[in-house]
Chain A
């Protein structure tokens, strides 16, 4: 049990590339913290520095209050689960799980008891004498977890542990990981590029981009109050809609029409010194079929007519996609996100409006429909810095 503190931790590779820049995060004892970001954002490097597999160029790493920069991984009392599982193929499941205990010279009876206990927790008891090659992906993943938990370390580090599993198993193991972490109450740092995992698993989420921490906070806070365009676009699935907008006289001119802003947003924009050209962000669930919105609420939002291009009925909701007229919102953050998601090359990429309507909506593909959105939910971003002006 220990808290992990990263104090201006920086990693610069010998070739001069700056992988991680001055990361300041304090992880409490027993907390489950997620490092999330697109590939190459420095999240794995950060994890490896905590593990001791990478040297720290500058800054200080403290585990349980003690500086551990110079300590070898084995002296940091932490366990790690690798993306590839990294099981020892020449050892049985039992030997794999016993390996860390054997190295720390625990006596045989204790090893056997601890391995059996971990195997019970992970439902691996009947596989103890098999080798990794004969196990399924999910079983291997559990063995990797088992190897980490047997020696009751003060912290777990997990490097995209679920990304090699198929979709269904991943959801199942996600719950499992969460359950084990709660049960053991061990400080955990978990790296993923999957924002769904980040949202569902963590007590707190650290969003990284290009080696720099963008925002740290509880998943819901990041979702509701993203600090900048990058976080806004990265967190949430389907992701937030962005479009260019012009601010004039307390109202916002966008491709969806003129939006008169509520007082709260207007004063926030004023105090933030918003420029006249901005980027507007709206989450898909803040749209609704106007027919389903109560009369009294309609005035608080904006209604616009649009032609439904694609409709996906999920049963509980309907996802309706529209084409936006006018320019698409452009900023380096959004381009980076699109490149990471692989949507940059799509012809419609970025200039499409995604909405989530109630299942009761009568929207149909190819037909015109009036869509309403809540003006209070509008997020306004500075296009040059990407900063959220409404948060």
Chain B
């Protein structure tokens, strides 16, 4: 069934796309607008600020509360992403290519973890981490992040591994590669788009997490940005920290955008074309 691109149809789609974009971007622009407003005019209801100020940005960087949280966030998210993707790559490969006892169970369990309501695990995790001394430390957050992002990584990656022609591995074997060498120099480079995609997804999950961050941290030693923002206070007890929160929200959006832009270039479609006939 061929869909004819009439001018009317094109216009209709353009309008729909525009609506979706506006719907998605207005809150972002609103936060941006708030972050540049002086405290006195936060509630004036103007979408475009009457006067611009950078006080909110200067304010959040003035104390260690936000900067330290930023360092925690970046560190924890990067370490958790690296570990989750490494473990996920190997697990996904095993699931896609090997037959081993308990494979179905493994897939089932990882699916279950992904579906489990995280809030129900917060209290036990809190107790466990306090008992073993992980509470309010980096590993205390990295571990649950890996646990909850692994299913996602495994699912994304095993789909990619299944796409790689098996004959490439056989060829590598015939060319004298050990299974580890074949994995490293043939399979992983070909699965790179998948590795990067799952890295982005895992990173965003870790970066945005609020539930574990607020429950499993108590000081600047490991508090991440989302938790730190919720602890922002105004300059007096009668003042809402709206401006600071907006500024912090803008700041933590930047790494995500950079991260995606940086890796997007590596997600090249058709990397596997030309391996086999077709």
Contact = CB atoms under 8 A, between A and B. Distances in A.
B211 to A, nearest CB: 39
B102 interface: no
Contact of A89 (B172, B181, B274): B274
Interface string A80-98: 1011111111100000000
Contact of A133 (B174, B178, B186, B274): B274
B273 A84 contact: no
B51 interface: no
B59 interface: no
Interface stretch (A99-107, A212-220, A322-330): A99-107
A100 B175 CA distance: 5
A131 interface: yes
Nearest to B175: A100
A53 interface: yes
A325 B175 CA distance: 57
Contacts of A52: 173
B166 to A, nearest CB: 9
B167 interface: yes
B276 A86 contact: yes
B87 interface: no
Given A86-B165, A88-B168, A73 B174 contact: yes
Contacts of A53: 170, 173-174
Contact of A85 (B173, B177, B276): B276
Interface in B99-138: none
A89 B275 contact: yes
Interface residues of A, number: 33
Nearest to A90: B189
A132 B174 contact: no
Interface residues of B, number: 25
Given A89-B274, A133-B270, A140-B277, A84 B167 contact: yes
A219 B274 CA distance: 35
A131 B186 CA distance: 14
Contacts of A90: 189-190, 271
Contacts of B270: 133
Contact of B174 (A80, A88, A104): A80
Interface string A132-160: 11110100100000010001000001000
A51 B273 contact: no
A119 interface: no
Contacts of B14: none
A164 interface: yes
B221 interface: no
Given A74-B178, A103-B181, A87 B170 contact: no
B275 A99 contact: no
Given A51-B174, A134-B274, A137-B277, 17 more contacts: A52-B173, A53-B170, A73-B174, A74-B176, A80-B171, A86-B167, A86-B168, A86-B170, A86-B275, A87-B171, A89-B271, A89-B272, A89-B275, A99-B185, A100-B175, A103-B177, A132-B275
17 contacts: A53-B173, A72-B173, A73-B176, A79-B175, A85-B275, A85-B277, A86-B167, A88-B168, A89-B275, A99-B175, A100-B176, A132-B274, A132-B275, A133-B270, A133-B273, A147-B171, A164-B277
Interface of B: 165, 167-168, 170-178, 181, 185-186, 189-190, 270-277
Interface of A: 51-53, 72-74, 78-80, 82-90, 99-100, 103-104, 131-135, 137, 140, 147, 151, 157, 164
The 5 closest A-B pairs by CB, nearest first: A133-B274, A84-B276, A86-B171, A132-B274, A100-B175
